């Protein structure tokens, strides 16, 4: 699985969880302010109506200050207990919130019915006379207590989604890895098949006529050299190859000429070298030659049955060399420009998506360069560009570390920007 997508997904989850937590806290604070204001309004009403008897006063307040007692509104009810100076409960709404229960006559009998975190605020004292006063005990409404669980519930939900997503990614990764191994096996068989067929044919001819040895020996040596090159290529895929300064123009020209001799009837071949032909690039000639062969083979497969044109162009820049492989084939839609370099992705009916993924590994991982689709479109042909540095690239672990640090910095800036915007939004509506 690609590290970039995993980091982006984790960042999105963090942003989502942060937004849910901030919004939940914002709602809880607003509800808390409203209920505090409501309790103080209740206390003021008590002070203004101090002339009335206590029982009538409590009944008046429940009817007019807190009139909504419908079953659907129990979430919004503030748990209130009115206690006089002797500790006797004058009125309460605990049964409406918590359900029916035993009668409540004093504060000590009211407290066991409450949750441990219900009456968490200091009571409000309402004085009527020097020795006559009431205490208003209040707590959090049921909705506020439920809102406090929202961050935890959302975290669990997001964690479940993340685990499912990671599981799907892992399954897709294993599937692509299996396709990669099958594709490597097919590629190995394809690479070994041609020289082995040549050797088998030469042995059959020698069995029929041993005098042909002098004629067949050069061809057999060529097939053996080809087998050695194939083995060398696959051995270098799993290890860090040595890069040596190589003249790039003869190397590319040799590959183009190899294809021109064998596929002259299928395509018109053009090789355009740079003005300075003595350019040397730090590279591994074996792997770079293999990469070019894969690109040219893909260009051949993309041509229509009547043939087409394949052009290989070298361009010298200040600090790098560009190798453009252009064909007049069917082209690639822009939505697949990046996907074709992933293992298991192929535009061919029977392709395994191995060649370009190996090409990217060779160019970017081993040579510190870049390979990408420079220009393409359906029915417009394709130009794939290779960019190779003229200086020896830094070791792989340094480049990997720098890329990871750069990605983390970009993600950090994105997260910081999102948090600032979210905080500004909540402050606007707070």
**Section 93-113 average pLDDT:** 58
Q: Which residue has the tokens 């540095």?
A: 389
End-to-end CA distance of the chain: 41
Confidence at 71, pLDDT banded by 50, 70, 90: very low
Share of the chain above pLDDT 90, in %: 10
Q: What is the pLDDT of residue 260?
A: 86
Q: For the packed helices 3-48 and 150-208, what is the interaxial angle rounded to 10 degrees? A: 170
- d(CA 224, CA 332) in angstroms, rounded, equals 37
* Least-confidence region, from 7-21, 70-84, 184-198: 70-84
Q: List Cβ neighbours of 66 (8 Å cut-off, separation of 6 or more).
A: 42, 77, 78, 80, 93
CB 364 within 8 A of CB 283: no
Rounded to 5°, the CA angle 173-174-178 comes to 115
Q: What is the pLDDT of residue 384?
A: 94
Pick the more confident residue, 425 or 264: 264
* Least-confidence region, from 80-94, 316-330, 411-425: 411-425
H or E, element range at 389: strand 382-389
Helix then strand count (H, E) for the chain reads 11, 11
- d(CA 160, CA 183) in angstroms, rounded, equals 34
Tokens of 343: 């293992």
Confidence at 115, pLDDT banded by 50, 70, 90: very low
The DSSP bridge pattern shows strands 267-272 and 308-316 to be parallel
pLDDT per residue as tens digits for the range 367-389: 888 899 999 888 889 999 999 99
What letter would DSSP give residue 392? P
Q: What is the pLDDT of residue 63?
A: 58
**Section 323-343 average pLDDT:** 87
The DSSP bridge pattern shows strands 370-376 and 308-316 to be unpaired
Mean pLDDT of the chain: 75
Residue 118, CB-side half-sphere exposure with 13 Å CA sphere: 20
Q: What is the pLDDT of residue 325?
A: 94
Q: What is the pLDDT of residue 167?
A: 78
Confidence at 122, pLDDT banded by 50, 70, 90: confident
Asked whether the predicted pLDDT for residue 68 surpasses 60, the reply is: no
Q: For the packed helices 213-237 and 150-208, what is the interaxial angle rounded to 10 degrees? A: 170
Q: Which residue has the tokens 């040219």?
A: 296
**Section 16-32 average pLDDT:** 75
H or E, element range at 396: helix 396-429
Asked whether the predicted pLDDT for residue 312 surpasses 70, the reply is: yes
Distance of CA 393 to the CA centre of its chain: 28
H or E, element range at 90: strand 89-92
CB 396 within 8 A of CB 365: yes
Q: What pTM, to 2 d.p., does this model score?
A: 0.52
Q: What are phi and psi of 392, to 5 degrees?
A: -65, 130
pLDDT per residue as tens digits for the range 52-66: 555 565 565 555 555
Instruction: Check the CA dihedral 32-38-42-45 and report its sign.
Output: positive
Asked whether the predicted pLDDT for residue 318 surpasses 70, the reply is: yes
- d(CA 360, CA 384) in angstroms, rounded, equals 11
**Section 335-357 average pLDDT:** 69
Asked whether the predicted pLDDT for residue 324 surpasses 80, the reply is: yes
Confidence at 49, pLDDT banded by 50, 70, 90: low
Q: What is the 3-state secondary structure (H, E, C) of 96-155?
A: HHHCCCCCCCEHHHHHHHCCCCCCCCCCEEEEEECCEEEEEEECCCHHHHHHCCHHHHHH
**Section 213-226 average pLDDT:** 82
Q: What is the pLDDT of residue 56?
A: 60
- d(CA 115, CA 247) in angstroms, rounded, equals 82
Confidence at 72, pLDDT banded by 50, 70, 90: very low
Q: What is the pLDDT of residue 76?
A: 45
**Section 284-304 average pLDDT:** 88
Q: What are phi and psi of 350, to 5 degrees?
A: -120, 25
Q: What is the pLDDT of residue 399?
A: 67
Asked whether the predicted pLDDT for residue 143 surpasses 90, the reply is: no
Distance of CA 27 to the CA centre of its chain: 31
Share of the chain above pLDDT 70, in %: 67
Asked whether the predicted pLDDT for residue 310 surpasses 90, the reply is: yes
Confidence at 271, pLDDT banded by 50, 70, 90: very high
Q: What is the pLDDT of residue 104?
A: 57
What residue spans of 238-362 are helical by DSSP H?
248-262, 285-302, 355-360
- DSSP per residue, 307-341: -EEEEEEEEE-SSEEEEEEEE-SS---GGGTTGGG
**Section 20-30 average pLDDT:** 75
Instruction: Check the CA dihedral 324-381-351-173 and report its sign.
Output: positive
Q: What is the pLDDT of residue 353?
A: 55
């Amino acid at each position: 699985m690609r590290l970039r997508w995993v980091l982006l997904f984790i960042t999105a989850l963090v942003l989502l969880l942060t937004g849910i937590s901030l919004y939940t806290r914002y709602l809880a604070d607003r509800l808390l302010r409203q209920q505090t204001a409501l309790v103080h309004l209740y206390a003021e009403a008590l002070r203004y109506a101090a002339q009335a008897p206590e029982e009538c006063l409590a009944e008046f307040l429940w009817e007019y200050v807190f009139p909504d007692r419908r079953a659907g509104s129990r979430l919004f009810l503030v748990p209130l207990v009115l206690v006089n100076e002797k500790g006797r409960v004058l009125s309460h709404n605990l049964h409406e919130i918590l359900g029916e229960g035993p009668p409540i006559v004093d504060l000590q009998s009211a407290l066991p019915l409450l949750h441990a975190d219900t009456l968490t605020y200091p009571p409000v004292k309402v004085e009527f006379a020097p020795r006559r006063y009431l205490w208003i005990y209040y707590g959090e409404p049921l909705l506020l207590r439920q809102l406090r669980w929202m961050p935890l519930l959302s975290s669990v939900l997001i964690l479940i989604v993340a685990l499912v997503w990671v599981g799907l990614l892992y399954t897709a990764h294993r599937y692509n890895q299996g396709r990669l191994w099958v594709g490597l096996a097919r590629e190995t068989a394809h690479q070994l098949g041609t020289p082995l067929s040549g050797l088998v044919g030469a042995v059959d001819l020698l069995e029929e006529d041993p005098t042909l040895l002098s004629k067949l020996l050069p061809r057999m040596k060529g097939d053996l050299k080809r087998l050695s090159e194939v083995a060398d290529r696959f051995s270098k895929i799993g290890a860090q190859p040595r890069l040596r300064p190589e003249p790039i123009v003869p190397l590319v020209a040799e590959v183009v000429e190899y294809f021109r001799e064998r596929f002259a009837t299928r395509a018109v071949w053009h090789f355009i070298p740079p003005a300075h032909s003595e350019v040397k690039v730090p590279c591994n000639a074996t792997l770079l030659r293999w990469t070019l062969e894969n690109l040219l083979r893909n260009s051949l497969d993309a041509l229509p049955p009547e043939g087409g044109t394949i052009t290989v162009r070298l361009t010298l820049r200040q600090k790098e060399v560009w190798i453009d492989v252009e064909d007049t084939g069917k082209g690639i839609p822009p939505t697949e420009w990046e996907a074709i370099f992933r293992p298991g992705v192929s535009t061919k009916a029977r392709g395994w998506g191995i060649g370009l993924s190996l090409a990217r590994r060779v160019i970017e991982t081993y040579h510190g360069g870049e390979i990408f689709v420079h220009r393409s479109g359906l029915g417009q042909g394709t130009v794939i560009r290779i960019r190779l540095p003229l200086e020896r690239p830094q070791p792989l672990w340094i480049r990997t570390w720098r890329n990871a640090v750069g990605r983390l910095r970009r993600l950090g800036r994105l997260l910081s920007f999102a948090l600032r915007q979210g905080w500004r939004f909540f402050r606007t509506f707070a």
